[in-house]
Structures are given as C-alpha cells and as structure tokens.
Amino acid sequence: MALMAAGCGTSGPGGRDAPVTPSTQVTPSTQATPITPVTPADPAASARPPGPAEPARPIPVTALPGWRADDLRGVERALARQCALRAPPAPWPRLCEEAAQLQGDRLKDWVQRRFVARPVTGADGAADGLITGYHEPTLTGSRTRRHDGQEPIYRRPSPEVLARRPTRAELEGDRPLAGSELAWIDDPVEAFFLHIQGSGRIRLPDGALLRVGFAADNGQPYTAIGATLRARGALPEAELNAGTIKAWLRAHPDQARAVMQTNARFIFFRELPAGAPDDGPPGSLNVPLTPGRSIAVDPRFVPRGALLWMATTHPRDGAPLQRLVLAQDTGAAITGAVRADLFWGDGPDAETYAGLMKQRGRLWLLVPSETGN
C-alpha cells in the first residue's frame, strides 16, 4: 500500500499490483496472526548487521534483535501450507519432514538450532531498506451490472489482447472487453485500488462473498498515482497515503479518472475458491498467505519460500516489529535485496496498517546450519 505514494507498483501471479498507502481495513476476523509490536527482551535486541565495510557473516538465530520475544504464532501454519506443495522450494523438501511434528517452543528450538542468520544487504552494502504492507480488501458489488456507477473488473483476455499491451485508458475508454466482466464494483475508486492489491473479497447483494485474485496484467509499467498527485501539487509528500489519495479522488470526480489512468497498468482477475475465512489469497508461491507471517520479496535476491527475520517498526506507533516471516509472494514494486511487503490480512486494521506502512527495516535470511541436526 505504501508504494502508491512511493511511486512503485507490485504484481505477481498471486499477489497484487502494488502496495499503496493508507486506505485499509482491519477486521480482526481474518487476522489469524495478530501483529503486535514486540519489545526486545534480551541483550541481543541491539544486534545489527555488519556495515558496508564488513562481510555479511552469519550470526546465531538467538542473536537476532527481538528473537526471544516472538512466539512464532502463525509460523507453523505458514510452514505447513508451504510444505504441502507437491514440490516445496529448496531446501524445504528435506526440512519439511523435520518441521512437521514441531509446535510452539519445539518449533522455536528447532529454528534456532537448525539455522543461522545471514544479514541481507544491498549491492551498495546498505543493511536497511523499505518495508511496506498490503492487505486483502473487502468491497461491495455484484456479478452483473446493477447501476451506472459501478466499475467492472475483467477476466483474463485472449493472448491476442495481452500481446497488444493495451493501456488502462484504452481498456476503460473503448471497453474492448465488454462481455468478459467477472464482477461489478460499486465504487470506482475501490475498484482501482483492487488493481493495486491484486486480490480481494466482494460482498454480493445476497451477502455472499466472491473472492477474486490476480490472473494477468496488460504488460504496462506501474505508475503510482501518489506521485502523479504530488507532481501536480494536489497532495504534499508528507500527506500521501492511500486514505488521502482516495479522499482526493472522491472529492475531484471530474479529474479522478484521468489521474487513475496515469497508471497504465491494468490487472485481470480470476475467481478464487472460497477457502477458510482466515485464509489469505494465494501468493506467488501458490499457498494461502498467512497474516503477519507472509511477505513479498524480490526473488532475484531472496529465494522463494525462504525463512527470514524482519526487524522494523509498527506503522501505528513506531514500536519495534520484529518477527519470523516467510517469502511467499512477489510483486512488481518489490525490487531490491532489502525490500519486503508484509501481508496484514483483511479487515479495517489490516487496511489501516498496510496503508500506513512505509518503514525502514532490516532482513536476515535464515539458512540451514551445517552443524544443525
């Protein structure tokens, strides 16, 4: 979410097009893994990765900042989903058997015995980077058009259409995809932000929920409309977030469509299985995302399915947010080594925190120890 203002965009096979900034919701209903700030309770809390002049040597997991305070709640479920894949990413095929019988303190003991932590650094040796957040929104709409104010979302078009790489303006102007609508969203602004998140839930008139997720994109680059508004002098940098962007769009209906079309990128959707209420949408690893434990990363630098330690601050109050996470998603705006997008879940709190999150943070990659057993 924070990327809308930052000028980035994300999109992956299971994720969204780009995190924005506050516009979010957080009903703890799907927040199966509450994200609470943790205050380091051990001397290792001050541990920092080596600076640019030093090699990134591995450190014991117990030396990670805040390690003792994380109860790993939700990690077991995220790991189980990943290990249930027909071909879990390496090195998990051999680790999944070990982890299958571990819970609570036993899981934590296993992680600190079986792994060491390597600081993740950028090409310039920088140890800190940008941590943002995303969520699964709940919108209102219908499967067929009910009034003129609704905005359609479309199924994946033919390969011929995708090959032409039509822009958002072209797709919205001439409506070349008429007849392939997957659903109609009551609020055009929320429909646009659904393209940013890449997945969501649509509350239908009969109360049923339709879950939709990323199916394809139009091949166009992502442009953050927060940057567009900033360049126009409509919103100052300090006030850019999803909430203020939405408010501006609604307050300027005569300009809103043109501003949204400065983001040429367009997402096509598919209907997702209903799943359990507390399951997140599938990430690029094709497993349901776990709130507070799944992150999107740049797979050029961080292996898919990797176990990582994330040390950042909570967007609510700046308190330490230090926890074990898994790389289960990707996104076009998530680029670089020290770069992560934390999945917050669904509901009002998730929307708020995902929208506000644009923190500095650090990552450690947990790799199997040669001496672990």
Residues 177, 111 within the same domain:
no
Contacts of 300 (CB under 8 A, 6+ apart): none
Percentage of the residues of the chain whose pLDDT score is greater than 90: 72
pLDDT of residue 276: 72
Q: Is residue 348 part of a domain?
A: yes
Q: What is the tens place of the pLDDT at every residue in 22-39?
A: 333 332 333 334 444 443
Residues 86, 183 within the same domain:
no
Residues 79, 164 within the same domain:
no
Distance CA(316)–CA(314), nearest Å, equals 5
Rounded to the nearest integer, the mean pLDDT of the chain is 85
Nearest to 240 by CA among 253, 257, 249, 227: 227
Q: Is residue 276 part of a domain?
A: no
Residues 318, 352 within the same domain:
yes
**Number of structural domains in the chain:** 2
Structure confidence at residue 351 as a pLDDT band (50, 70, 90): very high
Average pLDDT over residues 303-319: 96
pLDDT of residue 101: 77
pLDDT of residue 22: 34
HSE, side-chain direction, 13 A CA sphere, residue 152: 19
Helix (H) or strand (E) holding 191: helix 188-197
Average pLDDT over residues 141-146: 98
Q: What is the tens place of the pLDDT at every residue in 76-110?
A: 999 999 999 999 999 999 899 888 877 667 999 99
pLDDT of residue 371: 57
- Among 240, 271, 302, the domain boundary falls at 271
Q: Is residue 259 part of a domain?
A: yes
Is pLDDT above 80 for 13? no
Average pLDDT over residues 178-182: 96
Of residues 278 and 200, the one with the higher pLDDT is: 200
pTM for the full predicted model: 0.82
pLDDT of residue 33: 43
Residues 63, 192 within the same domain:
no
Is pLDDT above 70 for 215? yes
pLDDT of residue 4: 43
Q: Is residue 102 part of a domain?
A: yes
Beta bridge partners of 119: 364
The boundaries of the domain holding residue 178 are 3-27+138-271
Residues 296, 335 within the same domain:
yes
Residues 302, 240 within the same domain:
no
Residues 146, 262 within the same domain:
yes
Residues 145, 163 within the same domain:
yes
Q: Is residue 280 part of a domain?
A: no
Average pLDDT over residues 119-130: 94
Q: Is residue 279 part of a domain?
A: no
Residues 253, 299 within the same domain:
no
Average pLDDT over residues 243-268: 96
Q: Is residue 38 part of a domain?
A: no
Average pLDDT over residues 206-221: 95
- Among 222, 245, 271, the domain boundary falls at 271
Average pLDDT over residues 354-370: 93
Structure confidence at residue 3 as a pLDDT band (50, 70, 90): very low
HSE, side-chain direction, 13 A CA sphere, residue 330: 18
Q: What is the dihedral of CA 233, 235, 240, 243, to 10 degrees?
A: -150
Residues 181, 66 within the same domain:
no
Residues 147, 209 within the same domain:
yes
Q: CATH number of the domain that 327 lies in?
A: 2.40.40.10
Q: CATH number of the domain that 263 lies in?
A: 2.40.240.50
Q: Is residue 225 part of a domain?
A: yes
